[in-house]
Amino acid sequence: MRKYLLILTVMVFAVILMAAPALAREPATPSLTLQQAVEMAKAQSETIRNDRYEIERGVLVNDSAALKMLFAPTSPTTITARSYFLSYKQSGIDLEMSERSYVADLDTLVMQTLQSYNSVLQGMEAVDVAKAQLKTAEWNYRVAVVSKQVGILNSLDFIKAGAALFQAGANLSIANKALDDNYQKFNQSVGLWPEDRPVLVDEPIFEKITIENLETEVERAVGKSPTVWLMQRQVDLADISRRLYNLAGTSSIEPYETKKIDVEMAELSAAQTEEQVRILVRSIYYRAVQLEDQYDSAQESVKVADETLRVARIKYEVGMVTIGDVLTAESNLEAAQQSLLSIVIQHQALSLAFSKPWSYSG
């Protein structure tokens, strides 16, 4: 009896192993808005999690430094008192920087999620374009075959038609692989499986940047920049160290002049950082304005392509053109829509970067 039970058990396990491929999970297709994707990315991000730990740690260090200040020697001329004071100021700056870094990293995460979200939409559009071009190439090749058979097409043009068909098929394969890559990158950022295919329901939005004065916006960005803030605090620390130098006694190895140099170097670094932010913000704005000029033209191209397709379909119904003309018109419309989408997506990222340039790395 045990022998039969053993055989039965082995057979059951064999059936389960054979059926395992069939039990593989199906790709999930959840509908996701951009905001939902952002929230999922926040929950998934190790950077955001580490930022929270840094803030928690900074609070403990700052509290400890404040407590040591209470028990520091009463004479402000001692090296110990100076050291405790500088440590307290440094821990306060570190804590605030951790808090500002957390906010900046959240802004960066929103930007990255927006870009990966839109990259999937771009990938889908690229596949649609490649499919339309492949249909056109297939039709042209069939026409070439018939034309070659009846002797009205030379060998060179026939070879070109075959090469165009082959290239169109390769382009579709490339577009599909690029879309798969865009999906897996997006899925990783929001905590989905690589094979999942979420349905992204939010279309990119185009809104022109409206400002009264560019330089006012530039200075606003400088004032809100976490990097600029940090460099300015380094100036403060260097200045405090300079002002407390004489109170530290004569045991310091470095002469007083080095403290003055430290302040000047910190001021120079802060000024350079501010100027870099100014250059970046202006560059973002000018690039966005260029896209705004291109947007109107791209919209018109889509309208023309759409009308051309409508006319081609009518002509085809009455026998004035071939299906090849319709396929060509469809392919041109897809290409025009792809160009328009690319402009909208780039402009959307630049619009966000204009208000929060520290989040932008493109």
The pLDDT-based confidence of 75 (bands split at 50, 70, 90) is low
**Within 10 A of 37 (CB to CB), how many other CB atoms are there?**
23
What does the alpha-carbon distance between residue 270 and residue 219 come to, in Å, rounded to a whole number? 14
Residues making up the chain, counted from first to last: 362
- 12 has a pLDDT exceeding 90: no
Residue 117 is encoded by which pair of tokens? 């979200």
Of the candidates 182, 214, 213, 209, the residue with the CA atom closest to the CA atom of residue 198:
182
pLDDT, tens digit, for every residue of 291-301? 999 999 999 99
Average pLDDT along the chain: 88
Element (H, E) at 31: strand 31-32
Is 29-202 assigned to CATH 3.90.1530.30? no
What pLDDT is attached to residue 227? Answer: 87
**Within 10 A of 355 (CB to CB), how many other CB atoms are there?**
15
Residue 200 φ/ψ, nearest 5 degrees = -90, 115
The structure tokens 């927006």 sit at 114
Q: At what angle do helices 79-149 and 155-190 cross, to 10 degrees?
A: 150
Partnered with residue 199 across adjacent β-strands are 31
What pLDDT is attached to residue 4? Answer: 43
What does the alpha-carbon distance between residue 289 and residue 298 come to, in Å, rounded to a whole number? 14
Of the candidates 196, 124, 135, 195, the residue with the CA atom closest to the CA atom of residue 164:
135
Partnered with residue 31 across adjacent β-strands are 199
**Residue 127 backbone class (left: φ over 0; alpha: ψ -120 to 50; beta: rest):** alpha
Average pLDDT, stretch 21-33?
76
This prediction's pTM = 0.84
What does the alpha-carbon distance between residue 301 and residue 342 come to, in Å, rounded to a whole number? 14
What pLDDT is attached to residue 249? Answer: 54
What does the alpha-carbon distance between residue 236 and residue 267 come to, in Å, rounded to a whole number? 9
Average pLDDT, stretch 241-248?
66
Percentage of residues in the chain having pLDDT higher than 70: 88
What pLDDT is attached to residue 133? Answer: 97
Please tell me what DSSP assigns to residue 71.
T
What pLDDT is attached to residue 86? Answer: 77
Of the candidates 201, 3, 21, the residue with the CA atom closest to the CA atom of residue 118:
201
pLDDT, tens digit, for every residue of 107-148? 999 999 999 999 999 999 999 999 999 999 999 999 999 999
- 66 has a pLDDT exceeding 90: no
What pLDDT is attached to residue 10? Answer: 42
Element (H, E) at 199: strand 199-200
Partnered with residue 200 across adjacent β-strands are 32
The 3-class SS string of 141-154 reads: HHHHHHHHHCCCCC
Least confident of 26-35, 157-166, 178-187, 247-256: 247-256
More confident call, 87 vs 111: 111
Of the candidates 277, 358, 284, the residue with the CA atom closest to the CA atom of residue 108:
358
Considering only CA atoms, give the Rg of the chain.
32
- 32 has a pLDDT exceeding 80: yes
What pLDDT is attached to residue 79? Answer: 59
Percentage of residues in the chain having pLDDT higher than 90: 72
Which residue type sits at 273?
T
- Contact of 211 with 58, CB cutoff 8 Å: no
Average pLDDT, stretch 89-93?
85
| Residue ranges of domains in the chain | 29-202
Residue 259: CB partners within 8 Å, gap ≥ 6? 238, 241, 242, 245
Average pLDDT, stretch 96-100?
90
- 256 has a pLDDT exceeding 70: yes
pLDDT, tens digit, for every residue of 192-234? 999 999 999 999 999 999 999 999 999 999 999 988 998 898 8
What pLDDT is attached to residue 6? Answer: 45
Q: At what angle do helices 256-317 and 214-224 cross, to 10 degrees?
A: 120
DSSP string of 169-197, one letter each residue = HHHHHHHHHHHHHHHHHHHHHHT--TT--
Average pLDDT, stretch 334-359?
96
